Structure 1
Amino acid sequence: MTVNLFRLDASILGAASASSELADAAEATWVSAHPQGTVTRRHLGADPLPSDAWALATTAGFTPEDQRTEGQREALALAAALVSELKEADAVILAVPFYNFGVSQHFKAWVDLVITGAGPTDPVLKGIPTVLATTLGGGYGPGTPREGWDHSTPYLQRIVGEVWQAELTLVRRELTLAASTPGMEALKDLAAEQHTAALTAAREALATG
């Protein structure tokens, strides 16, 4: 039986994306273990979902089927397709960067549509090995000036791990901007250590999945 990996990227930085680098490492491990497997990809940064799709899909749920607009029907079909991509997966990689102290708007739109299509309590990833690769430009850990400012990681874990019940592995890399941002020079060595550790964790995350 053919197995399928679903990979989602949410970065706007293309080939320069730190989160996509981690996803590449996890994907390479999975492909090596499943040479006959298939990989389904969706890149929200390069091909964002329509900004009005969630509102249309949601209002369609309160509209009699014969009175729905074409836009509502298309939005419902999109939501159903997004759910199918997850439910047909045997493993999942989600590469989600940290933007403006929170979750990428591209990723949030995708989450909202999946929840609309599947229902708010449907565990669409129940028991599925899932790598959540997230990257942060600065440092947000205990004792840092911006401790508590990471409003992304807890949300991601809540949705993917608790609502969707994935078999979740979090791969988190901070200080991605240390090498290029004035004032962060003293953090370069620590950033390099975190980079290496995150790549190792990403490579190992789907080694048996």
Structure 2
Amino acid sequence: MSNVLVINSSLRREGANSTALTENFLARWRQHHPDDQIQQRDMASQPIPHLDEAMVGAFFTPEDQRSVEQQTLVARSDALVQELKESDVLVLGVPMYNFGIPSTLKAWIDHIARAGLTFRYTEQGPEGLLKGKKAYVLAARGGQYQGTAADTQTAYLKDVLAFIGITDVQFIYAEGLNMGDDQFARGFSRAEQQLDALAI
């Protein structure tokens, strides 16, 4: 039995294409892994605050020297890190906003990319500490960007996940979703084919 952590990063509570893609993935996953524990975190209904000076200061203050306020700030991040550590599979539902990932997802990344907890610096360079996990990125885009220079999401997410030790990453793309009804249908159909081909 595995623990699956799902992060839906759309700003929309309802009707998000990336969330629909995630739900299609989870329907297939449940068929193959009915006993798995699935935990979902929705950024629209459970927003995570972006880092600010107070949070960064709390992170870099030794644990035994933190004020009560700093302990509260760090506790939220610690909980997110623990949630990720306990997962075996990470699923990211990712829309494209202005050629990048949503700031909601960036906020989550900033809270879980913690020196000494999910990565460490060594004489040979940084080492990710969350090895052995599998990640799926379910990317929904209004236009068609896969394989082009405008697709900044793929390289960034590969890099940041590898930085914390997650190197087994698979991308599923639904593209052209804002280019008319026919293209919308084709985009989701191609994504469905990719989902059907997954070895899960």
The one of 93, 97, 117 equivalent to 1:99 is 97
CA displacement at 1:64 relative to structure 2: 4.2
> In 2, Cα distance between the equivalents of 1:49 and 1:194?
30
Query: Which SS does the other structure have where 1:32 is aligned?
Result: helix
Pairwise CA RMSD: 2.4
Q: Is the 8 A contact 1:86 1:124 kept in 2?
A: no
- The match for 1:182 is none
Identity of aligned residues (%): 28
Runs of at least 4 residues off by over 4 Å: none
Query: Which sections of structure 2, spanning at least 5 residues, go unmatched?
Result: 121-125
Q: 2:193 corresponds to which residue?
A: 200
Q: Distance in 1 between matches of 2:152 and 2:78?
A: 28
The answer to whether the 8 A contact 2:19-2:93 is kept is: yes
Cα gap change, 1:162/1:119 in structure 2, threshold over 3 Å: closer, same or farther?
closer
Q: TM-score, normalised by structure 2?
A: 0.83
Question: Distance in 1 between the 2:94 and 2:140 partners?
Answer: 7
CA distance in 2, matches of 1:64, 1:130: 32
SS of match in other structure, 1:99: coil
Question: Unpaired segments of 5 or more residues in structure 1?
Answer: 180-187
Amino acid corresponding to residue 5 of structure 2 in structure 1? F
Aligned to 2:10: 11
SS in 2 for 1:93: strand
Distance in 2 separating the partners of 1:64 and 1:160: 26
Cα displacement string for residues 81-102 of structure 1 (whole angstroms, at most 9, x for unaligned residues): 1122122112221101111221
Counterpart AA for 2:35: Q
The whole-number CA distance in structure 1 between the counterparts of 2:73 and 2:192 is 36
Structure 2 partner of 1:137: 142
Q: 1:84 to 1:28 in 2, by over 3 A?
A: same
